[in-house]
């Protein structure tokens, strides 16, 4: 039996209240366990939940964007709160807040923040530069890690794996690049060449970024469960939207 959207949502609302953090796959399994005669695909289930604001993970203090009962029929990206991220380690002035499925999540001030006050500094999770910067990196004119234009300096170092043309501001940038570069380096991983060339030839920045992300995850996996878990939680916190919904 294929239930109507109304029947599906009625059951989903009841079960979601009792299982606020259950993922889509397990949530669908729970629904079908309660309604064993139903036949519902995961694709349809995900879309229906998105339309009714029932697929977001609930967190303390959440404001439900559909609380007024109005549905605009639009599909919004889904995401997860990174529970392992403790902002208080760096500052007491802001906190993570979930605003609802339309606005998503963000940082809000807990205390007065002075103009130009620095709360914390952090490195980008990955850098997938625009093609003009990438071309400069390939030509050894910009740091392969931080993208800073290179000047004549004794501190500048080259990637030791030939034929990689990458150069770095200093040994610190070379060391930091180890979380991504080894699998994207033509010297250390020659098989990556066709992938990098395809992204560059087609000016496909999404593929370029995905290659960096995948490299970081694979290298984190080699360091063990703890590091893999840290990096995977970052990825799971990204906003997601299926190609069929774009």
The band of 112, judged by pLDDT with boundaries at 50, 70 and 90, is very high
Q: Is the pLDDT of residue 33 over 50?
A: yes
CB 220, CB 231: distance < 8 Å: yes
Query: Mind listing the pLDDT tens digit for each residue in 147-193?
Result: 999 988 999 999 999 999 999 999 999 999 999 999 999 999 999 99
Q: Kindly state the tokens that stand for 181.
A: 């570069």
The whole-angstrom distance between residue 18's C-alpha and the CA centroid of its chain comes to: 27
**Residue range 110-118: mean pLDDT, rounded:** 92
Among residues 8, 96, 97, the alpha carbon closest in space to that of 54 is found at: 8
Q: Percent of the chain scored above 70 by pLDDT? A: 89
CB 159, CB 181: distance < 8 Å: yes
β-sheet bridge partners, residue 209: none
Query: Mind listing the pLDDT tens digit for each residue in 17-31?
Result: 777 767 788 888 899
Q: Quick count: other Cβ atoms within 10 Å of Cβ 26?
A: 11
Query: Mind listing the pLDDT tens digit for each residue in 192-218?
Result: 999 999 999 999 999 999 999 999 999
Contact residues for 36 (Cβ-Cβ < 8 A; gap 6+): none
Contact residues for 3 (Cβ-Cβ < 8 A; gap 6+): 11, 35, 38, 40
The whole-angstrom distance between residue 185's C-alpha and the CA centroid of its chain comes to: 23
Computed from CA positions of residues 38, 44, 46, 49, in that sequence, does the dihedral angle turn out positive or negative? negative
Q: Strand locations in 3-153, DSSP E? A: 94-100, 104-109
Distance CA 130, CA 55 (A): 33
Instruction: Output the pLDDT for position 245.
Output: 67
Q: Across the chain, how many H-helices and E-strands are there?
A: 9, 4
Instruction: Output the pLDDT for position 86.
Output: 83
Q: Is the pTM of this model over 0.75?
A: no
Query: Mind listing the pLDDT tens digit for each residue in 55-86?
Result: 654 433 333 333 333 335 677 777 777 767 78
């Amino acid at each position: 039996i294929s239930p109507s959207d109304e029947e599906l949502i009625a059951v989903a609302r009841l079960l979601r209240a009792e299982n606020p953090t259950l993922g889509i796959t397990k949530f669908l399994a729970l629904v079908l366990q309660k309604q064993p005669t139903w036949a519902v695909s995961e694709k349809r289930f995900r879309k229906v939940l998105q339309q009714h604001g029932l697929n977001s993970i609930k967190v303390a203090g959440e404001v439900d964007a559909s609380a007024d009962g109005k549905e605009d029929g639009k599909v919004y990206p889904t995401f997860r709160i990174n529970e392992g991220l403790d902002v208080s380690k760096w500052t007491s002035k802001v906190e993570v807040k979930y605003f609802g499925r339309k606005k998503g999540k963000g940082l809000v001030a807990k205390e007065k923040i002075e103009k130009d006050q620095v709360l914390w500094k952090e490195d980008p999770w990955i850098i997938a530069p625009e093609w003009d910067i990438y071309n400069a990196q390939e030509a050894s004119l910009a740091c392969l890690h931080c993208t800073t234009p290179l000047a004549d300096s004794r501190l500048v170092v080259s990637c030791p794996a030939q034929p990689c043309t990458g150069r770095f501001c200093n040994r610190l940038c070379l060391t930091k690049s180890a979380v991504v570069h080894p699998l994207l380096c033509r010297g250390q991983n020659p098989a990556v060449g066709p992938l990098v060339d395809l992204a560059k030839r087609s000016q496909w920045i999404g593929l370029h970024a995905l290659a960096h992300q995948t490299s970081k995850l694979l290298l984190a996996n080699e360091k063990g469960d703890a590091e893999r878990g840290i990096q995977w939680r970052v990825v799971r916190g990204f906003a997601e939207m299926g190609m069929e919904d774009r």
